[in-house]
């Protein structure tokens, strides 16, 4: 045999020479669940190791991550019900604790990249990403609300805005609105292919953001989030988001949609992001805690697979654990 591929696998040093995919903490984004108040640190029961934090608890968390080489964070607010209404006005209110927290984080750590969430569901009493009327999610009527949220978030100091709503035309609307107000350097990470997935459960537990049960309110998000059966549809969304001014294209979830990540990577020159969602992380944690998987082996392999598929950016609840292992040379 003239060709023996095993020759390039026979030692750690040789394997290092031919390693094709390199994942560093700089590729990772750490999610943060924010609560209003002080000295609050509540574990999300369905996602062990992840916490809902008040701003005074977030600041040391950000500092610890920065010291490990994680420089980017995406933040989500857990908003009390008494601040929610049908039009989500608290999303751009001057007293919004989420906006104040962003300003404080950027003041303390100007070197970090802070990514927002642009959608109505954290602030909507109906629990949907768009305006609800007559049992329908209204697309065009939602856009001005998202525009107001975008300006408020840019003013607060967010570097990149993350519209997770999946309304048609929202990237262009946001880009035009931001530019008109002088925020030409504020980026947009489009949730390009966000699927109507069963793997968002722990996230919704953390934010209490599931659609409200009412006969006049759609029971799910299938009229705006994508059909899990569809792949080519992601190319349509990517083409639109790119033309409308997106700076990143995101696929969510990640593991069950590695083919979509690869498809967008092959067909776009923009950076591709992937959201390794709460349910995907919870499954690995459960298997590891039951002794069925070795967490320190399975977790890095999982993130590597997402990066290998084509994700330049990975949002994952395992970011800090990965960075700690990377720092210690265990990866």
The token pair at 195 is 């699927």
Q: How open is the CA angle 96-31-77, to the nearest 5 degrees?
A: 20
Instruction: Find the DSSP H helices in 86-200.
Output: 97-108, 143-156, 170-180
Residue 40: how many other CB atoms lie within 10 Å = 16
What are the φ and ψ backbone dihedral angles of 191, each rounded to 5 degrees? Answer: -75, 85
Nearest alpha-carbon partner for 271 in 255, 240, 249, 253: 249
- H or E segment and range at residue 234: helix 233-244
Catalytic site residue from 84, 221, 252, 265: 252
- For 94-119, the DSSP string reads TT-HHHHHHHHHHHH-TTSEEE--B-
Interatomic CA distance for residues 192 and 265, integer angstroms: 12
The CA distance from 280 to 43, in Å, is 17
What is the phi-psi region of residue 316: left when phi exceeds 0, alpha when psi lies from -120 to 50, beta otherwise?
A: beta
**Count of Cβ atoms closer than 10 Å to residue 148 Cβ:** 16
Dihedral sign for Cα 98, 102, 107, 108, please: positive
- Is the separation of the CB atoms in 129 and 167 below 8 Å? yes
Is 252 considered catalytic here? Answer: yes
Does residue 328 have an active-site annotation? no
Task: Say whether 185 counts as a known binding-site residue.
Answer: no
Question: In sequence order, what E strands does the chain have?
Answer: 28-35, 41-43, 51-54, 72-77, 113-115, 131-133, 136-138, 160-161, 187-194, 248-252, 272-276, 313-316
Q: Which member of 84, 194, 221, 265 is catalytic?
A: 194
Q: Which residues are annotated as a binding site?
A: 237
Q: Which residues are annotated as a binding site for Mg(2+)?
A: 237
Just list the catalytic residues.
Answer: 194, 252
């Amino acid at each position: 045999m003239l060709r023996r591929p095993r020759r390039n696998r026979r030692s750690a040093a040789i394997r290092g020479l031919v390693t094709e995919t390199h994942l560093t903490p700089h590729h990772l984004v750490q999610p943060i669940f924010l609560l209003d108040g002080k000295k609050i640190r509540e574990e999300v029961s369905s996602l062990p190791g992840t916490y809902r934090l008040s701003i005074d608890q977030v600041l040391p968390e950000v500092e610890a991550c920065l010291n490990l080489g994680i420089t980017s964070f995406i933040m989500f607010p857990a908003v009390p019900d008494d601040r929610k209404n049908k039009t989500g006005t608290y999303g751009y209110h001057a007293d919004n604790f989420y906006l104040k927290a962003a300003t404080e984080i950027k003041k303390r750590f100007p070197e970090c990249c802070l990514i927002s969430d642009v959608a109505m569901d954290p602030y909507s009493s109906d629990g949907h990403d768009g305006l609800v009327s007559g049992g329908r999610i209204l697309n065009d009527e939602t856009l001005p609300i998202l525009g107001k949220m975008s300006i408020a978030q840019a003013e607060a100091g967010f570097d990149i805005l993350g519209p997770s709503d999946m309304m048609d035309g929202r990237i262009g609307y946001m880009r035009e609105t931001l530019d008109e107000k002088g925020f030409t350097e504020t980026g947009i990470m489009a949730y390009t292919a966000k699927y109507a997935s069963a793997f968002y459960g722990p996230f919704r537990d953390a934010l209490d953001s599931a659609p409200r049960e009412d006969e006049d309110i759609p029971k799910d998000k299938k009229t705006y989030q994508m059909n899990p059966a569809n792949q080519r549809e992601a190319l349509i969304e990517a083409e639109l988001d790119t033309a409308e001014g997106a700076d990143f294209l995101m696929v969510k979830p990640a593991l069950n949609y590695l083919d979509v990540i690869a498809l967008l990577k092959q067909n776009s020159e923009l950076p591709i992001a992937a959201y390794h969602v709460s349910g995907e992380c919870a499954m690995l944690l459960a298997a590891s805690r039951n002794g069925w998987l070795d967490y320190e082996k399975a977790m890095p392999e999982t993130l590597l697979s997402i990066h290998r598929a084509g994700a330049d950016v990975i949002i994952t609840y395992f970011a800090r654990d990965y960075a700690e292992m990377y720092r210690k040379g265990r990866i």
